Amino acid sequence: MTEADIVIIGSGPAGCTAAIYAVRAGFKTLVLNGKAHGGQLVRTHELENFPGFILPLSGYEIMDAMHKQCARLGVHFSVETVVKIEEHAKPFVIRCESGRQIAARAVVAATGSAQMWLGLESEREFMGHGVSSCATCDGFFYRGKTVCVIGGGNKAFEEALFLTKFCAKVYIVHRRGAFRADKVEVDKAKANPKIEFVLNCIVHSINGCDKSVGSITVQDVNNKSLREIALSGVFVSIGTTPQTDFLKDSSVKLSARGHVSVDIKNHTSVPGIFAAGDCADEHHNQAVIAAGAGAKAAMEAIKYLNEGLG
Ligand SMILES: Cc1cc2nc3c(=O)[nH]c(=O)nc-3n(C[C@H](O)[C@H](O)[C@H](O)COP(=O)(O)OP(=O)(O)OC[C@H]3O[C@@H](n4cnc5c(N)ncnc54)[C@H](O)[C@@H]3O)c2cc1C
């Protein structure tokens, strides 16, 4: 069985920062990558709110630098998806999808969150054929076309603004008249002649045309009227859900929405297991906050091991 002092599950900003602190404290540190090396941030083309950089960088550039920093310090990475933690005996045993088992004296869960979908049958039907959740990944395919972004948060606005670089027209479809997004993002979108708002509307259906998307039908939430909008791409950006399924059968407490419940020092309900970043934060899903929480969780893991508890 592989052994490490501190195993960090996730290689986004929270996991990488936790790893930097853990390895610099002299502990054998292993990061389990999961399926998204670098986490969600690699999907953003322009990051302007991470301190320390005068000009915007892409999420990929920041995560690549964090990974290289970790590697230079001696952090080990392994592409493994965790399916379960056996937390009743010490060391903890981490079970991976591959069948591999890893013994850990302390664990930091930093597994982030995953995209939420509308839940429409037609959304499933056209997934990858006009329905996407990532403008950075798929925007290029819609050069000169009309698309929509569903959502009213910062990510939705970022996606819409990015898409205006390729697309002829971008609708922002939102079920309310007001937005969760920051004013600066909303102002940028309002000033962009390629963006048109479709407000107080939900997506009723995504309609096909030659096996790909040809239009959407939206429904006004107030008068229930339907309207069809011709377009080729639908980018869903309505929020995320924490990736904590691997903890469901353990005694690590989760909130009603599935986030890991942590105290102010990022301790979970199981001593020796800590959590940080989007998987443990219902309210503030930002890279700098995830990084800070990762540092805090690692400092607590270090203290736990230094006190001989693990
Ligand atoms: C399109 C987009 C734009 C964004 N723009 C910004 C922005 O401008 N500024 C900003 O501050 N934030 C932005 N964010 C939010 C930011 O990316 C997240 O808040 C941040 O990445 C959270 O970091 P994290 O380390 O908690 O989780 P994540 O980055 O989600 O990383 C989670 C990691 O856990 C791994 N993992 C998951 N489950 C398992 C498992 N079972 N076993 C092993 N590994 C697992 C994943 O593979 C991944 O490596 C954006 C997000 C998106 C999607």
pLDDT digits (tens, 9 = 90+) for 102-127: 999 999 999 999 989 999 999 999 98
CA of 84 from ligand 1 middle (Å) equals 20
The reply to whether 2-115+240-306 and 121-236 are identical in fold is yes
Q: Is the shortest distance between the CB of 81 and ligand 1 below 6 Å?
A: yes
What pLDDT does 159 receive? 93
pLDDT for 141 beyond 80: yes
What atom in ligand 1 is closest to the CA of residue 285?
Answer: 19
Q: Quick one: pLDDT band at residue 98, thresholds 50, 70, 90?
A: very high
What pLDDT does 128 receive? 84
Query: Which residues have C-beta within 8 Å of that of residue 49, sequence separation ≥ 6?
Result: 286, 288
Higher pLDDT, 136 or 93: 93
Cα–Cα–Cα angle for 160, 215, 178, rounded to 5 degrees: 40
pLDDT for 73 beyond 90: yes
CA distance 11 to 75: 11
The domain defined by 2-115+240-306 folds into FAD/NAD(P)-binding domain (3.50.50)
Contact status, residue 260 vs residue 278, Cβ threshold 8 Å: no
For ligand 1, mutation pick of 20, 40, 288 (most atoms within 8 Å of CB) = 40
Query: Which CATH architecture fits 121-236?
Result: 3-Layer(bba) Sandwich (3.50)
- Residues with catalytic annotation? 134, 137-138
pLDDT for 36 beyond 90: no
pLDDT for 18 beyond 90: yes
pLDDT single digits (tens) 142-161: 999 999 999 999 989 999 99
Give φ, ψ of 162 to 5 degrees: -65, -45
What pLDDT does 48 receive? 82
pLDDT for 259 beyond 80: yes
Q: Quick one: how far is CA 295 from the chain centroid?
A: 18
Contact status, residue 276 vs residue 291, Cβ threshold 8 Å: no
pLDDT single digits (tens) 202-256: 999 999 988 899 999 999 999 999 999 999 999 999 988 999 999 999 999 999 9
Q: Is the shortest distance between the CB of 244 and ligand 1 below 6 Å?
A: no
What are the respective helix, strand and coil percentages of the chain, to the nearest 5? Answer: 30, 30, 40
List the domain boundaries for the chain.
2-115+240-306, 121-236
Query: Which residues have C-beta within 8 Å of that of residue 297, sequence separation ≥ 6?
Result: 14, 18, 108, 110, 266, 274, 275, 276
What pLDDT does 47 receive? 82
pLDDT for 187 beyond 90: yes
pLDDT for 43 beyond 80: no
